[in-house]
Chains A and B, each alone.
Chain A
């Protein structure tokens, strides 16, 4: 399928002038890139850490310090986890249908599956 893309993206910049379209990562010339880290933030005591985004840092300590500056400038967190992105394993979205299929036909796992008399209280 041949698609004509409309050539204005962030508002005012026409596509043919815009550049930056190299989807494939190139190796940066003579410079070692800092690895990518995924950042998880606990917004307050009692809640789970939640994925906030990612950032680059040379090591774990820098990742946590950068995460403080990037993701908690307005007291959004009381605890930070940093995990190097290469250590994250993920399920494959293409397999989602088959992968989660066993849960599909087991509606008896939900409380609403059971018809009970109206008079029954506290259940």
Chain B
């Protein structure tokens, strides 16, 4: 079959909602796009542990500490589901990790913002995980089978993240004047970066939308962002807090909330590595990787030795 015919057959499968599996024929660009997207998603989960890890030792109660630990452990798990999904496409784990640690591969920019107060844990759960969930719910229906399955697993666990975040803010919102102020301050700082998580405006893209055509993505950045704004604009009322956007208001004609313009200059700056914590995050990842090197080596040596030993035992049995 010619490549052209294979491509036509591939697109027919996509159009008919048949999932693509690892050993199926796929266009090279589809493979690459998926590797890039899935590994970036994995890196985002792994780096995403850092801003929250910052508060584990300072959580205000044992209950909150246990919850935060469980959540951060989930993020590690999500990273692992995703790395193994990317590996089914032929990407080597070590290459992906090296690309993250060298700064070649990117991760979601939101994790380059600092977590200044305890209320940030609530705001991250509610806003950042809330935004991630919208993306991941969409990705449960992505065309590449292993990626779709990884997202199903992730979404099952994410909803606890978002709920615990909102609940934690709810407690603060009913607390002392200082706690209320801390809650509002966290929302004010995380709102705009959360909106940036959905990426550049659709109109900024002059390329035809191959990712949508291949059903890797099933909604555009602007569609997801609008969905998020509509959701959060209502939820924030239950907290008795406000979102830091004077242009936010219900538009009865569109049946959606209108909202103000994102600071795109800030967005591109953080993407390019000049956010408040880019260097710190990469340094932390590299430190963990380097300091773990002897553990990885020791585990390999131990496995080899036990293997040899069992071979020898086997041989001596055979000889007797």
Contacts and interface: CB of A to CB of B under 8 A. Distances in A.
A13 B91 CA distance: 19
A8 B205 contact: yes
Given A13-B109, A19-B104, A54 B84 contact: yes
A15 B44 CA distance: 15
Interface string A19-58: 1111111101001111010000000000000000111101
| Contact residues on B (Cβ < 8 Å of other chain), bracket | 35 or more
B262 to A, nearest CB: 11
B199 A11 contact: yes
A18 B242 CA distance: 34
Given A17-B271, A54-B87, A74-B157, A28 B80 contact: no
A9 interface: yes
B40 interface: yes
A10 B70 CA distance: 24
A53 B81 contact: yes
A31 B35 contact: no
A70 B80 contact: yes
Interface stretch (B93-101, B117-125, B312-320): B93-101
A56 B93 contact: yes
A13 B106 contact: yes
B155 interface: no
Interface in A1-18: 1, 3-15, 17-18
A5, A32, A34 interface centre (most CB from chain B within 10 Å): A5
A70 B77 CA distance: 5
Given A10-B41, A69-B77, A53 B99 contact: no
B108 A70 contact: no
A14 B296 contact: no
Contacts of B164: none
Interface string B20-34: 010111011101110
Contacts of A70: 77, 80-81
Given A12-B109, A73-B73, A1 B306 contact: no
A7 B216 CA distance: 12
B261 to A, nearest CB: 16
B211 interface: yes
A93 interface: yes
Interface in B163-211: 196-200, 205, 207-211
Contact of A4 (B28, B200, B210): B210
22 contacts: A1-B27, A6-B208, A6-B210, A9-B211, A11-B108, A12-B197, A18-B36, A21-B35, A23-B32, A28-B98, A31-B297, A34-B299, A36-B84, A53-B149, A53-B153, A54-B84, A54-B88, A58-B300, A58-B303, A62-B299, A69-B73, A70-B77
